Amino acid sequence: MRASIEVETLLKIILALVVVWLALQIVEATLGILGFLLGPLSNVFGLVIIIVIILWWFDYI
């Protein structure tokens, strides 16, 4: 039995995380100082996306 979350919901979550990740990259590129402060957060969002995919793959969500 697969996890209780549906694929469409998971895809929406991943899409939202990717949008936030891209927004942080744009902010980093356009505003040097603010991008420097928010830079580490973009790596965290990438890690969160990978974790969500792995958890879904192993039926934990």
Reply yes or no on whether the pLDDT at 38 is more than 60: yes
Is 34 part of a structural domain of the chain? yes
Q: pLDDT for 10-36, tens place per residue?
A: 888 888 888 888 887 777 777 776 656
- Sequence-distant (6+) residues with CB within 8 A of 20 are 45
What is the reported pLDDT for 33?
65
Is 1 part of a structural domain of the chain? no
Reply yes or no on whether the pLDDT at 40 is more than 80: no
Is 2 part of a structural domain of the chain? no
Provide the number of structural domains found in the chain: 1
Please give the angle made by the CA atoms of 50, 14 and 41, to the nearest 5 degrees.
65
Which range of residues forms the domain containing residue 52?
7-57
